[in-house]
Structure 1
Amino acid sequence: MAADEKTRAKTEQAKGKVKETVGRAVGNERMTAEGRAEQSKGDMREAKEKTKDAFHR
């Protein structure tokens, strides 16, 4: 299950980065903000998984 969560985190980060980049390219501030939010969500998920890993060792 942890591998699934880590994959999900990386996917969210990547999708967010793409969305942010496209939003900037077309001048869409909302898309840019959504991309940043999605990246942050992925970052938080990744941090949670790293914390769980640290305590389970």
Structure 2
Amino acid sequence: MDKNRVEGSKHEIKGAAKEAAGKMTGNPAREAAGKLEKEAGKLQKEIGKNKDEMHKHHDH
């Protein structure tokens, strides 16, 4: 499994927590930062998935 998948998942979870904390405390800047980190995590996870697919097809 590509390290980007793991790191992306971490950022996605961390971002979701920040977003929720921002909503609960009425802090739109923190909420926005959380959304941004969550989306960046999703993107990084997709990059990792693509790399895994490339390696799988290249190895066969």
Provide the identity percentage. 29
Aligned to 1:47: 46
**Greater gyration radius:** 2
2:7 corresponds to 1:8:
yes
TM-score by structure 2 length?
Answer: 0.84
Q: Which amino acid letter does the alignment assign opposite residue 41 of structure 1?
A: A
Match runs of 1:13-52 below 5 Å: 13-52=12-51
State the Cα RMSD in Å: 1.3
Matched AA of 1:36: K
Take 2:22 and 2:44, find their aligned partners in 1: how far apart are those partners?
Answer: 23
> How many residues are aligned here?
56
| Deviations, residues 1-48 of structure 1 (Å, cap 9, x unaligned) | 82x322211110010000000000010000000000000110010000
